[in-house]
C-alpha cells in the first residue's frame, strides 16, 4: 500500500539540557554518531567551554586524533582558512562550539567539504543553531547561504545562561519575528502560488507565540531558556522542512538587512532588529498580536522602536525603500505599500506607551 507523506531531513539528535558540554562525545556515541577525527571549531572568548567538549572526546575510544581551531569571525577569509585546516587535518566531523558566527562557519565549511556538522551553541542568539542556512560575511556584505541541517544539535542551557544578555535578547527577537515572517509567507502563497508548507509554518508560529505568551524574559530561569532553545531549534527545523528560510524570514528581515546595509557598523544584533521591525510589519499585515509584541519588547527592554536604533522617520523611509532589493523576488507586505499606510503603521506601531 502506498504511503502518502513527505520525508524531511532532521538532525539525528537534539538534546537540550543543563551541564551538557562535558557529555557531547558520550551523547553522540549513544546515537551512533561515532567519529575518529573530530575538528572542533570555536572562538577564543569561549575556548574554556570548547575545552570541556574536547575533554570528552579525549576519553572516547573511537577518537584517534583531535584538533581544535579558533576563528575570529564569519568573514570569508576565515572560511578559507578553516578549509585549509580541513584539507590538512582531514576530519570526519566538524563540531561548532560557540555563538552564531562559529556555528555558521562550521556549517558552511562542513557543507563545502561534504562533512557532517554538530552544532553546540553556547549562545542562543538566533535560529541558525539548527537551520540549513549559514550567514557568511563577504567583504562588507553578509549573505545567507544554503547548507546541510546539522547532524546533531546539543544545547547546554547552563552555558547559554552565562551568554551575554544582549545575545539572548537577540534570540528572543529572532523567534518572535516568525509571526511576521509566516504572515508574509501565506500571503505570498495566496497571491503568487509560492510553495507553502503548513507544518513548517505551524512549527515556526507556535514557537513564536509560546515565547510571546511567556510575557516575561528571565534568562536566569532555566525553564524560560528551555522555551527559547526549543523555539529556535524548531525554527531551524521549520526552515529545513520548507527548504527555504521563508518560515522565519519575511518583510521584517528585509528591513533589518536594509538597515545593516545602510549602517554596517551598528552595534545592535540581528534578532532585536527583526523583532522591532516586526511590530511595524505585523501592523501592516493586520496581525492581531502586533500590540502584544510591541508591549513585550518594551516590557522586557528589547529594542522596540527605530529611535532605539538611532533612526528617525526619514531614515526609516530610506530603510523601507531599500528593503525589497535585499532579497529580490521575495513577496512581502512591503510590496506596493502606500505612503499613507506606512505613515499610519509607523505612528501606531512605535508610539505605544508601556
Ligand atoms: Zn533571523
Is 174 a known ligand-binding residue?
yes
* Local confidence pLDDT in tens for the 354 residues of the chain: 677 877 888 999 999 999 999 999 999 999 999 999 999 999 998 889 999 999 999 989 999 999 999 999 999 999 999 999 999 999 999 999 999 999 999 999 999 999 999 999 999 999 999 999 999 999 878 888 999 999 999 999 999 999 999 999 999 999 999 999 999 999 999 999 999 999 999 999 999 999 999 989 999 999 999 999 999 999 999 999 999 999 999 999 999 999 999 998 889 999 999 999 999 999 999 999 999 999 999 999 999 999 999 999 999 999 999 999 999 999 999 998 999 999 999 999 998 544
Residues recorded for the chain = 354
- Asked whether residue 62 is marked as a ligand-binding residue, the answer is no
For residue 49, say whether it is annotated as part of any ligand binding site: no
- CATH code (residue 303): 1.20.1090.10
Instruction: Give the predicted TM-score (pTM) of the model.
Output: 0.95
Q: Is residue 227 part of a domain?
A: yes
How much distance in Å is there from the Cα of 270 to the middle of ligand 1?
Answer: 7
- Cα-to-centroid distance, 276 and ligand 1 (Å): 12
Q: How far is the CA of 237 from the centre of ligand 1 (A)?
A: 13
Looking at residue 224, its pLDDT comes to 96
**pLDDT attached to residue 244:** 92
Do 105 and 156 fall into the same domain? yes
Residue 177 CA to ligand 1 centre (angstroms): 7
Query: Residue 292 Cα, ligand 1 centroid: separation in angstroms?
Result: 20
* 271 within a domain of the structure (yes/no): yes
Q: Which of 271, 197, 208 is nearest to 234 (CA)?
A: 208
Residue 8 is assigned to a structural domain of this protein: no
The whole-number pLDDT of residue 354 equals: 43
291 is in an annotated binding site: no
Between the CA of 63 and the centroid of ligand 1 the distance, in Å, is 35
Cell numbers representing residue 160 in the block: 547559554
- CA 254 centroid distance within chain: 15
Is 335 marked as binding a ligand?
no
Q: How far is the CA of 136 from the centre of ligand 1 (A)?
A: 14
Co-location of 193 and 268 in the same domain? yes
Closest CA relative to residue 277, chosen from 136, 181, 142, 133:
181
CATH code assigned at 37: 3.40.50.1970
156 and 224: one domain?
Answer: no
Query: Annotation-wise, does 122 bind a ligand?
Result: yes
CB-based contact 171:232 (threshold 8 Å)? yes
Are residues 120 and 193 both part of a single domain?
no
Final residue before a domain boundary, out of 111, 145, 161: 161
β-pairing, 141-146 vs 133-138, is antiparallel
Same domain, 253 and 140: no
Would the annotation count 127 as a binding residue?
Answer: yes
253 annotated ligand-binding residue:
yes
State the residue range of the domain holding 341. Answer: 165-349
For residue 213, being part of any structural domain is answered with yes
- For the chain, percent helix, then strand, then coil, each to nearest 5? 55, 15, 30
Same domain, 154 and 190: no
Instruction: Determine whether the annotation assigns residue 103 to a binding site.
Output: yes
Interval between CA 274 and ligand 1 midpoint (Å): 7
> Which pLDDT score, from 0 to 100, does residue 352 have?
58
325 marked as binding residue: no
**Rounded Cα–Cα distance for residues 289 and 121 (Å):** 30
One domain for residues 43 and 178: no
- The answer to whether the annotation marks 171 as part of a ligand binding site is no
What CA–CA distance (Å, rounded) separates 251 from 225? 27
Give the domain-ending residue among 104, 135, 161: 161
Of the residues 145, 161, 177, the one at which a domain ends = 161
Ligand 1 centroid to residue 66 C-alpha, Å: 33
Residue 45 lies in a domain: yes
In sequence order, what E strands does the chain have? 13-17, 38-43, 67-71, 93-98, 117-121, 133-138, 141-146, 152-156
Nearest to 152 by CA among 245, 67, 237, 68: 237
Same-domain check for residues 287 and 245: yes
| Domain presence at residue 354 | no
* Ligand 1 center–CA 50 separation, angstroms: 25
DSSP 138-205: ETTEEEEEE-PPPSEEEEEHHHHHTS-HHHHHHHHHHHHTHHHHHHHHHHHHHHH-----HHHHHHHH
310 Cα–ligand 1 center, Å: 21
Amino acid at each position: 500500500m502506498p504511503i502518502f507523506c513527505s520525508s524531511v531531513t532532521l538532525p539525528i539528535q537534539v538534546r537540550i539540557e543543563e551541564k551538557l558540554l562535558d557529555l557531547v562525545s558520550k551523547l553522540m556515541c549513544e546515537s551512533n554518531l561515532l567519529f575518529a577525527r573530530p575538528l572542533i571549531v570555536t572562538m577564543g572568548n569561549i575556548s574554556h567551554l570548547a575545552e570541556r567538549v574536547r575533554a570528552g572526546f579525549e576519553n572516547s575510544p573511537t577518537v584517534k586524533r583531535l584538533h581544535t581551531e579558533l576563528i575570529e569571525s564569519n568573514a570569508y577569509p576565515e572560511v578559507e582558512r578553516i578549509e585549509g585546516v580541513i584539507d590538512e587535518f582531514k576530519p570526519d566531523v566538524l563540531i561548532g562550539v560557540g555563538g552564531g558566527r562559529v556555528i555558521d562557519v562550521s556549517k558552511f565549511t562542513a557543507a563545502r567539504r561534504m562533512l557532517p556538522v554538530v552544532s553546540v551553541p553556547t549562545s542562543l542568539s538566533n535560529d541558525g543553531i539548527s537551520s540549513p542556512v549559514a550567514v557568511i560575511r563577504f567583504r562588507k556584505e553578509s549573505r545567507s547561504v544554503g547548507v546541510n541541517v546539522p547532524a546533531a544539535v546539543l544545547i547546554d542551557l547552563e552555558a547559554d545562561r552565562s551568554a551575554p544578555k544582549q545575545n539572548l535578547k537577540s534570540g528572543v527577537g529572532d523567534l518572535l519575528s516568525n509571526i511576521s515572517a509566516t504572515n508574509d509567507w501565506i500571503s505570498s502563497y495566496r497571491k503568487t502560488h509560492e510553495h507553502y508548507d503548513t507544518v513548517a509554518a505551524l512549527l515556526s508560529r507556535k514557537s513564536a507565540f509560546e515565547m510571546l505568551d511567556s510575557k516575561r524574559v528571565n534568562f536566569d530561569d532555566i525553564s524560560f531558556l528551555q522555551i527559547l532553545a526549543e523555539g529556535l531549534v524548531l525554527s531551524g527545523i521549520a526552515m529545513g522542512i520548507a527548504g527555504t528560510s521563508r518560515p522565519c524570514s519575511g518583510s521584517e528581515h528585509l528591513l533589518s538587512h536594509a538597515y545593516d546595509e545602510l549602517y554596517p557598523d551598528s552595534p545592535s544584533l540581528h534578532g532585536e532588529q527583526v523583532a522591532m521591525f516586526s511590530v511595524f510589519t505585523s501592523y501592516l499585515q493586520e496581525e492581531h498580536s502586533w500590540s502584544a509584541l510591541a508591549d513585550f519588547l518594551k516590557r522586557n527592554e528589547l529594542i522596540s522602536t527605530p529611535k532605539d536604533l538611532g533612526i528617525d522617520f526619514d531614515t526609516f523611509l530610506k530603510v523601507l525603500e531599500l528593503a525589497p532589493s535585499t532579497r529580490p523576488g521575495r513577496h512581502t507586505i512591503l510590496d506596493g505599500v502606500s505612503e499613507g499606510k506606512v505613515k499610519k503603521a509607523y505612528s501606531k506601531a512605535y508610539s505605544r506607551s508601556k
